[in-house]
Structure 1
Amino acid sequence: MRRVPPSLVLVCGALLLVVSCGWSRADDGEGRMPGAPAGVTAAAGSATSVHVMWNAAPDAGVRSYEVYRGTTKVAEVPGVQHMVDVTRLRPSTMYAFTVRARGGAGRLGPPSPAVRARTPAMTAADRSAPTRPDRTTGRAVGSRAVQLSWGASRDDRGVVSYDVYQSGVKIHSVGGNQTATVVTGLRPGGRYVFTVRARDAADNLSPAGAPVPLTTPGHDDGRNTAPTGFTAATHGSDGAYYIDLAWDPPRADGVITEYQIQLDGTAATSLVWGGTPPPGRAHHSFYVGTVAGEEHRVRLRARLPDGSWGGYSTERTVTTGG
């Protein structure tokens, strides 16, 4: 049965259109229970927050992750996300956290081993942010990881943590006594930009350090990251013609929520899912004009969980009114 999501938006040039399209849910074996996430860590981000991170669960098709403080569920994030900041905590308190994965059919997997973190004491009336981390540098460590380092920031009350950003999105956090880290889960031949910001116990954030552009070695021809089973057809309605697409999302360490559609050799539209899409085969239709007999070439690619673009699908040729 096809499900039509309310939040799927088509962006075409400067024109914003809400289109009728959907994702179908296939019986593709996603009903199994996912395993427990591994590599779970927890570190205080401030006097009232803890940053929890984990590796992807060992099963594909994870729809979401649930984070628990003791036995209380405190967060649920999409399967593409492998970290969360747990907030509204008490200063000077020890907490235990576990993470569970929820599969595509809704089955909840077992909890991870518990990890503990203690929040520091609250500082009174601290509105002074740490200084910018200086001397930020980095290097590739193999084809799927980079090592970053930076100079320690200064703060009148002390730095509690450092946040690492990739293209402006927070992806990692380490303790305030740490001035280096390794970021994993990258792609061979991928181009990335990292920045680092310091945080104190009152949640004051420093300005970002100098950006560190890095390229991982190796080459990814995109075949393993391209959508598969790609088909294209056309249909007419009230004098207008549409191209109908269907494909199987690529397997990735997380959920694919964005696609770029290329029409006649030019990036024509961006397809953005407003939440976590159901697993299975995807479908989308878009308007191409009112003239019958026009030939079009179409293909698409996915934005992967690491922020880079995957490989293009096979290109298909269709003719309106054909």
Structure 2
Amino acid sequence: MRGVPPAVFPRRLLVLLGISLLVVSCRWGGSDDTGGERPPGAPTGVTAEAGSATSVHVMWNTVATEVSHYEVYRGTTKVKEVPGSEHMVDVPRLRPATTYVFTVRARDADGRLGPRSREVRATTPGADTADGTAPTRPAELRGRAVGSGAAQLSWSASTDDRGVVSYDVYQGGTKIHSVGGNQRAAVVTGLRPGTRYAFTVRARDAADNLSPPGATVRLATTGGADGRATAPTGFRAGSERSDGAHHLVLDWVPPRVDGVITTYEVRLDGRVATSLVYGGDAPRDRATYRFYVGREAGVTHRVRIRAMLPDGTWGGWSAERTVTTGARR
């Protein structure tokens, strides 16, 4: 690490945070010498939610390395295979009122299959075969571009005689996403800069009755990399001293996007210092991180943080904070 004392930024550091394993790796100097021989890593941020009495919507975070496709398993059975550019899928032909376990694996272009993700469970609701009434269409659909690569959508609730189980989001005529029936908003990521998009939303009940689409919302992403709405919020930084050394203590609220944020990057004094990768249950409300910066008091640092979004793209940087070692938080 050029010009940086090894004690300040260790090359590999394992920290146990509650039940989450946090991997911190130095980003300065050196390189991965594996020559691409390793298989892809396990997908993180996997979630599963019932879409109807006979289907489940599975989502995951894009693996950072190049992936040919993802394989989705129900128990030990492979049930779906999707291109590496996608990170969600609907699993149909399930039984009503049944709990299922799903995992996801990534395969690279050379055929190497990575390890399974953590298991996630979803329970389909009971079916009413006599239910032939579709939910009402979602109303008051609103949308806005979130910088150059995402859009934020919201709508009012549909009504149904048995209850809405999920909402499906369409880009043009293609279904691209699904959220639970108790949600009224979605963030669509992975969009192209400077591009116009048209979105609609449809409601689905347990019997798989699909509402008519609501009104179309049209928007255009910006041409630059604005990402403020995908940046961590409430970012705070302070200094603590223990065992004769000074540490920076950071805390923040993860971006509100569909999916789980498992990876962050910390920028210290104008340079990317470390990556934080949560290997277990990543924080969804407020996250914290503490790291060593030296033994000298009165040193001023500038720090900010950003998150990798579930589609594999980086969100916006948080506000920058200035903190001096030895100063009260």
**What amino acid is aligned across from residue 155 of structure 2 in structure 1?**
W
Q: Secondary structure at the match of 1:85?
A: strand
**What amino acid is aligned across from residue 48 of structure 1 in structure 2?**
T
**What amino acid is aligned across from residue 166 of structure 1 in structure 2?**
Q
1:100 to 101, 105, 109: 105
**What amino acid is aligned across from residue 152 of structure 2 in structure 1?**
Q
Matches within 5 A, 1:74-85: 74-85=79-90
Tell me the equivalent position of 2:49: 43
**What amino acid is aligned across from residue 42 of structure 1 in structure 2?**
A
The yes-or-no answer on 1:161 pairing with 2:172 is no
4+ runs of 1 displaced by more than 6 Å?
none
CA deviations on 1:264-296 (whole Å, 9 max, x unpaired) are xxxxxxxxxxxxxxxxxxxxxxxxxxxxxxxxx
Q: Quick check: 1:164–1:170 contact (8 Å CA) kept in 2?
A: yes
Distance 1:145 1:39 in 2: 18
Distance 1:30 1:201 in 2: 45
TM-score computed with the length of structure 2 as normaliser: 0.56
Q: Quick check: 2:166–2:204 contact (8 Å CA) kept in 1?
A: yes
Instruction: Report deviation, 1:121.
Output: 0.9
CA deviations on 1:205-228 (whole Å, 9 max, x unpaired) are 1111111111122348xxxxxxxx
Matches within 5 A, 1:105-116: 105-116=110-121
Tell me the equivalent position of 1:55: 61
**What amino acid is aligned across from residue 93 of structure 1 in structure 2?**
T
Matches within 5 A, 1:231-310: none
**What amino acid is aligned across from residue 102 of structure 1 in structure 2?**
R
Tell me the equivalent position of 1:138: 143
Q: Quick check: 1:65–1:102 contact (8 Å CA) kept in 2?
A: yes
Q: Secondary structure at the match of 1:161?
A: strand
Distance 1:204 1:121 in 2: 14
Q: Secondary structure at the match of 2:156?
A: coil
Q: Quick check: 1:191–1:214 contact (8 Å CA) kept in 2?
A: yes
Q: Quick check: 1:30–1:104 contact (8 Å CA) kept in 2?
A: no
Q: Secondary structure at the match of 2:140?
A: coil
Tell me the equivalent position of 2:27: none
Q: Quick check: 2:147–2:224 contact (8 Å CA) kept in 1?
A: no
Percent same amino acid among aligned pairs? 72
Distance 2:148 2:86 in 1: 21
1:181 to 181, 186, 193: 186
Q: Quick check: 1:162–1:197 contact (8 Å CA) kept in 2?
A: yes
Distance 2:146 2:183 in 1: 19
Distance 2:36 2:139 in 1: 46
Instruction: Report deviation, 1:81.
Output: 2.6
Distance 1:142 1:178 in 2: 23
Instruction: Report deviation, 1:133.
Output: 0.7
Distance 1:175 1:189 in 2: 30
CA deviations on 1:276-319 (whole Å, 9 max, x unpaired) are xxxxxxxxxxxxxxxxxxxxxxxxxxxxxx9xxxxxxxxxxxxx
Distance 2:36 2:218 in 1: 38
TM-score computed with the length of structure 1 as normaliser: 0.57
Tell me the equivalent position of 1:298: none
CA deviations on 1:84-128 (whole Å, 9 max, x unpaired) are 111121211221211001110111011111111111111131111
Q: Aligned-pair RMSD on alpha carbons? A: 1.7
**What amino acid is aligned across from residue 66 of structure 1 in structure 2?**
E
Instruction: Report deviation, 1:141.
Output: 2.2
Tell me the equivalent position of 1:204: 209
Q: Secondary structure at the match of 1:205?
A: coil
Instruction: Report deviation, 1:192.
Output: 1.2
**What amino acid is aligned across from residue 146 of structure 1 in structure 2?**
A
**What amino acid is aligned across from residue 39 of structure 1 in structure 2?**
G
Distance 1:113 1:32 in 2: 19
Instruction: Report deviation, 1:31.
Output: 5.5
Structure 2 residues not aligned, in runs of 5+:
1-34, 226-310, 312-329
Q: Quick check: 1:32–1:103 contact (8 Å CA) kept in 2?
A: no
Tell me the equivalent position of 1:280: none
